[in-house]
Amino acid sequence: MKRGIDPLGPTMTALLAAGQLAAWTLLGVTVHNSLAVTETTTAAAPDTPLDQTDPPPAPSIA
């Protein structure tokens, strides 16, 4: 009786390794792209124009 090499074990190991490599690569690319985005902040516009004064506080606020 001749026994050949069972290709299932090495094939599954290779597929698992390839899947792990692809997952880690995708995770790395995602994190890199997330960190590479430059945050652009804009100054908030005032509630009232600068030539007008703020309204007085409500009387219930002490």
Write the pLDDT tens digit of every residue in 19-52.
999 999 999 999 888 888 766 656 666 665 667 6
pLDDT at residue 49, rounded to an integer:
65
- Quick one: which of 35, 15, 16 has its CA closest to 27? 35
| Structural tokens at position 18 | 């390839």
The answer to whether the CB of 37 falls within 8 A of the CB of 31 is no
Average pLDDT over residues 7-23: 93
pLDDT at residue 47, rounded to an integer:
64
